[in-house]
């Protein structure tokens, strides 16, 4: 988004205010470790509540000794082809090499090699190191790097590949089949978080429809989240939630692949960048997850955890939110049993009546929820012309 150029910066102020309201009322789960602070800040500036639970964390190799030895072996081997899989890995590799006094030798060896880089971030890191890639931006998977070795007539050569913390054994085997030798360099590795409790809370919140979106920034993180859900016995419920009500968003197709393989529909930005990921989350939630109603001359807007009544925003608790969402999903009468079963914590008839009474008072529209004797409850509201139910 761009700010206006009005006098005194008022256009920029209006833009900032608009951004602050984009995700108001929405609760978003975030599974990333690296750059999570940037993502959390960007989402919170737009009004979202963020539940952060890293599925994996990036850990450098202990004392960097292994990476130094791998770099020394690469310098001695002088590979003819070098595959770079991540920008972060490339940068960290050179940081460790420079600290060990190997930076100049490493650069000299890589200058003589054909460098294939996976995606624009890896290309950027290669160029930042003063090197030039043979092929890059169009290669977005490890498989495509191996395909390029074959397609560009680079078979039968000495090859080095910078791994990215998650070894793709299938592609590594393919590379070994077409190469004279393969040397691996591992600047970092993925490890499980110290405690899995936070990730389990995120999985549980998603299955209870207490999140509006879950954001993924790496394929290993997506796999680890699915595995954590399965290990807790919530695998099917988690997948179901992410296909019916909770938006799954991934930074790119590689990250989305394990989720799609599990049957989850994933939204992915055209440009595989964090900024584009934030924009697509904003667009998805504000377009498909906001419900608008008219009741008694008042305009209601249900967005995430919040209901706005003519500009007044009220944050709802889990039961109140589930009641309102369930009533909003159908124009007909909803039975007490149906309402109770839709709640995170089922209530008896008396407790349900109390919860509905509190909801009426919170919203401030006494006639919004109509009691239909012996049958249940109905939402006394209409959707504006052209409005439709949010996509699930």
Looking up residue 322, the CATH number of its domain turns out to be 1.10.10.10
Instruction: Say yes or no: 88 and 162 in one domain.
Output: yes
Q: Two tokens at 312?
A: 């007044």
Instruction: Say yes or no: 126 and 227 in one domain.
Output: no
* 51 lies in some domain: yes
* 12 lies in some domain: no
Instruction: Say yes or no: 308 and 283 in one domain.
Output: no
Q: Is 115 helix (H, G, I), strand (E, B) or coil?
A: strand
Instruction: Say yes or no: 51 and 102 in one domain.
Output: no
C-alpha distances in Å from residue 22, one per residue of 38, 131, 206, 286, 362? 17, 41, 21, 7, 23
Instruction: Say yes or no: 70 and 164 in one domain.
Output: yes
Instruction: Say yes or no: 36 and 72 in one domain.
Output: no
Domain end position, chosen among 261, 288, 315: 288
The residues near 167 (Cβ < 8 Å, ≥ 6 apart) are 184
Instruction: Say yes or no: 163 and 241 in one domain.
Output: no
**Among 203, 206, 176, which Cα is nearest to 83's?**
176
Q: Cα torsion for 312, 17, 392, 266, to the nearest 10°? A: -160
The residues near 45 (Cβ < 8 Å, ≥ 6 apart) are 19, 20
Q: Two tokens at 116?
A: 């294939």
Give the pLDDT confidence score for residue 57 in this predicted structure.
Answer: 82
Helices (H) and strands (E) in the chain, counts: 16, 17
| The model scores a pTM over 0.85 | no
Q: Is 366 helix (H, G, I), strand (E, B) or coil?
A: coil
Distance (Å, whole) CA 79 – CA 134 = 14
User: Which burial class, exposed, middle or buried, applies to 129 when counting CB atoms under 10 A from its CB (0-12, 13-18, 19+)?
Assistant: buried
Q: Two tokens at 221?
A: 């993180």
* 9 lies in some domain: no
Give the pLDDT confidence score for residue 6 in this predicted structure.
Answer: 39
Quote the number of domains for the chain: 3
Domain end position, chosen among 253, 288, 323: 288
Give the pLDDT confidence score for residue 281 in this predicted structure.
Answer: 95
The continuous run of DSSP H or E covering 99 comes out as: helix 87-99
Give the pLDDT confidence score for residue 63 in this predicted structure.
Answer: 58
**Residue ranges in the chain whose pLDDT is less than 70:** 1-20, 60-63, 137, 165-166, 384-392
Q: Specify whether the CB–CB gap between 351 and 358 falls below 8 A.
A: no
Instruction: Say yes or no: 179 and 85 in one domain.
Output: yes
- Beta strand pairing call for 312-315 and 306-309: antiparallel
Distance (Å, whole) CA 115 – CA 80 = 9
Residue 377: count other Cβ atoms within 10 Å of its Cβ.
21
Which CATH number do you get for residue 277? Answer: 3.40.50.10090
Domain end position, chosen among 235, 254, 288: 288
* 82 lies in some domain: yes
Instruction: Say yes or no: 199 and 99 in one domain.
Output: no
Strand order in the sheet with 49-52: 49-52, 27-30, 213-216, 247-250, 266-267
Distance (Å, whole) CA 271 – CA 277 = 8
Give the pLDDT confidence score for residue 390 in this predicted structure.
Answer: 47
Instruction: Say yes or no: 91 and 200 in one domain.
Output: no
Instruction: Say yes or no: 74 and 145 in one domain.
Output: yes
Which one-letter DSSP state was computed for residue 381? -
Give the pLDDT confidence score for residue 17 in this predicted structure.
Answer: 46
* 218 lies in some domain: yes
Q: The domain containing residue 176 runs over which residues?
A: 59-190
Region of 247 please: left (phi>0), alpha (psi -120 to 50) or beta. Answer: beta
Instruction: Say yes or no: 81 and 113 in one domain.
Output: yes
Q: Cα torsion for 321, 327, 330, 334, to the nearest 10°? A: 140
Q: Specify whether the CB–CB gap between 263 and 238 falls below 8 A.
A: no
* 3 lies in some domain: no
Q: Specify whether the CB–CB gap between 160 and 82 falls below 8 A.
A: yes
**Among 326, 360, 364, which Cα is nearest to 346's?**
326
Q: Identify the residue whose tokens are 């990921």.
A: 277
Q: Two tokens at 254?
A: 């590689």
Q: Specify whether the CB–CB gap between 49 and 305 falls below 8 A.
A: yes
* 99 lies in some domain: yes
* 11 lies in some domain: no
């Amino acid at each position: 988004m761009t700010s206006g150029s009005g006098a005194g910066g008022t256009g920029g102020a209006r833009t900032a205010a608009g951004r602050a309201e984009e995700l108001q009322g929405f609760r978003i789960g975030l599974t990333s470790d690296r750059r999570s602070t940037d993502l959390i800040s960007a989402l919170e500036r737009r009004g979202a509540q963020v539940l952060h639970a890293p599925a994996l964390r990036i850990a450098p190799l202990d004392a960097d000794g292994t990476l130094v030895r791998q770099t020394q072996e690469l310098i001695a081997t002088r590979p003819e082809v070098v595959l770079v899989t991540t920008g972060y890995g490339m940068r960290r590799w050179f940081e460790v090499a420079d600290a060990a006094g190997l930076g100049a030798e490493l650069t000299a060896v890589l200058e003589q090699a054909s460098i294939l880089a996976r995606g624009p971030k890896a290309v950027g890191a290669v160029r930042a190191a003063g090197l030039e890639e043979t092929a890059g931006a169009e290669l977005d998977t490890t498989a495509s790097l191996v395909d390029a070795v074959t397609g560009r007539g680079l078979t039968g050569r000495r090859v080095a590949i910078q791994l990215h913390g998650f070894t793709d054994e299938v592609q590594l085997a393919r590379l070994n089949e077409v190469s004279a030798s393969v040397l691996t360099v591992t600047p970092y590795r993925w490890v499980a978080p110290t405690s899995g409790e936070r990730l389990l809370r995120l999985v549980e919140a998603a299955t209870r429809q207490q999140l509006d979106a879950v954001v993924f920034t790496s394929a290993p993180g997506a796999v680890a989240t699915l595995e954590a859900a399965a290990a807790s016995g919530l695998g099917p419920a988690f997948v179901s939630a992410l296909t019916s009500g909770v938006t799954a968003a991934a930074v790119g197709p590689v990250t989305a692949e394990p989720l799609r393989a599990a049957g989850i529909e994933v939204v992915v930005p055209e440009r595989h960048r964090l900024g584009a990921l934030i924009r697509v989350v904003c667009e998805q939630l504000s377009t498909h997850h906001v419900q608008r109603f008219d009741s008694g001359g008042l305009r209601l807007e249900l967005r995430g955890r919040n209901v706005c009544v003519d500009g007044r925003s009220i944050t709802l608790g889990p039961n109140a939110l589930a009641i309102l969402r369930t009533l909003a999903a159908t124009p007909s009468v909803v039975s007490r049993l149906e309402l109770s079963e839709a709640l995170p914590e089922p209530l008896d008839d008396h407790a349900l009546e109390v919860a509905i009474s509190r909801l009426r008072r919170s919203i401030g529209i006494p006639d919004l929820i109509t009691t239909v004797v012996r049958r249940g409850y109905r939402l006394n509201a209409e959707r504006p012309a052209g409005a439709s139910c949010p996509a699930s």
